[in-house]
Structure 1
Amino acid sequence: PYTTVQKRILAIDYLNQIMASAVSEDDAPDAVIEVTDILRNEHKLMDNEKDDFSVRSMEELISTFSSTSEMLTVLLVAVASISL
């Protein structure tokens, strides 16, 4: 079970990732808000406290991946042009 892996192999006592899905793409923003509210409640955070977790949508992950890919492309072009 995951608890055994957490304790014996990873030496942690917390979940580091939870995956959830919305019924449709249109429901994704509401799902992010709902998950955030649930986690804030479970972590017993007050209204003025910052989240001690992050919730990301697939759209945000794709955007991050795209930006990273563009930066790597620029870096590779720079390295290739220097080596010529």
Structure 2
Amino acid sequence: MVRLAAETGFSVAAYRRIGVLQLAGVAGVALGLAGAGLLLLLAGAVVVHVRRGDPVAELAPAVVCAVPVASYLAALFA
């Protein structure tokens, strides 16, 4: 690990912190937390577009992206 950290220009402590963050990311995806957060973000985008009275063309990307995320979460927790 010391050699790999040196090759990338990071200290060993920083290299370890990056590894911990990567493991946390994997856990978040595996538990559906990342997907749930993304779905909440997209739902918020839909609400903002609707409140602003934006045309469907501006609302559609958030809805289109929310569908596969919701499907993923449904499959994950089914």
Mark yes or no: TM-score above 0.5: no
Please give the range of the TM-score, normalised by the shorter of the 2 chains: 0.3 to 0.5
Structure having the larger proportion of residues in helix? 2
- TM-score, normalising length from structure 2? 0.37
- TM-score, normalising length from structure 1? 0.35
